Amino acid sequence: MPVICKPALAVPENVITLDDTLELAQRLHSDHPRLGLALRLIRNTGVLKRHLVQPIEATLTHPGLTERTRIYVEQATRRIPSAVDEALRNAALEAGDIDAIVVVSCTGFTMPPLSTWMINNLGFRSDTVQIPIAQLGCAAGGAALGRAYDFAVAHPGANVLVVSCEFCSLCYQPSDLEVGNLLSNGLFGDAVAACVVTGHDRPGLMIDRVGSRIVADTEDWISYEVRETGFHFRLDKRVPGTMRQIAPELEKFVAENSRHVDELDVYVIHAGGPRILDDLSMYLGVKPEKFDLSRETLREYGNIASAVVFDALRRTFERQDIPDGASGLLAGFGPGITAEMVLGTWRGNS
């Protein structure tokens, strides 16, 4: 069965702390009638710092969609190579060994996709299959692993590279003053992640099953409103409560593989915010500490969209106490409301 090898993460050098974020919100929105609520929500995220592709002074400006797209491509081509190199090393592979590339991003748009640039510049074969995913938001990390699994099953022995490139700061809209948008400005960060899904014998999370679920009638709860100025993020106030609906779907998905969701060994959960983890722990009957690595990603990097699950999985690999044969669930959540899930078994070095 295909195996997910240890992911790599690359974050930009520009850092903004929680104190910086609160000070900026107070300075920029001092007359906002709901500033107090926004500040409280930002504090409650537990995000201590985030990394940005530009200094904060540049991030707060809006030079137009054309310039932002140029910056997106410039930063992507600058930062993807290091993450890809590390991911290939983690899988003991070279660029020429890769048969397909899945690239996910919801924070910038290019055509052809970034995978085309990678093939032309990073040593991949010209017959490498490209699978770009652009519209699944934070859920795309789980979806990318699912599509990599599908390819690897259809092509036994194949190696699939997955790349997540998320520069959320390039979607900052200074004119959006809704509380949900102010919260987003204090929650999201930038990162590039990469990993390999291989059909060869490697240590990692061996994929037993993948799945997707959509919560009915929630398609406008997380969305982009596309305007002349670019993507305007829309977050419905009902979103934090969606774990009540998603938890039963996770239970069913795990049960279909004759397991119980509250008895797994490893949980890699998209940390969109602390309430997602708190509620999912409660509804699934899973001890809160089982989600600690996802909380670490949220604290150190913020919500880095589709890259969250890769960093949480990277942290899981770096633990030394996961026994061979341990069971694991990876889940990403995003627009739809969509859950993208991977159920697997830990394979050690032996």
Q: Which of 119, 83, 85 is nearest to 101 (CA)?
A: 119
Tokens 């709901």, located at residue? 34
DSSP 122: S
Tokens of 181: 């948008």
Q: Which of 5, 106, 138, 165 is catalytic?
A: 138
- Asked about 106 being catalytic, the answer comes back as no
Tokens of 276: 């997602």
For residues 253 and 261, what is the distance between their CA atoms, to the nearest angstrom?
9
- CA count, 13 A, side-chain hemisphere, 281: 14
By CB atoms closer than 10 A (0-12, 13-18, 19+), residue 5 is buried
Nearest 5°: phi and psi at 302?
A: 75, -170
Beta bridge partners of 226: 231
- Per the CB < 8 A criterion, the answer to whether 290 and 272 are in contact is no
For residues 245 and 270, what is the distance between their CA atoms, to the nearest angstrom?
16
Please give the positions annotated as active site.
138
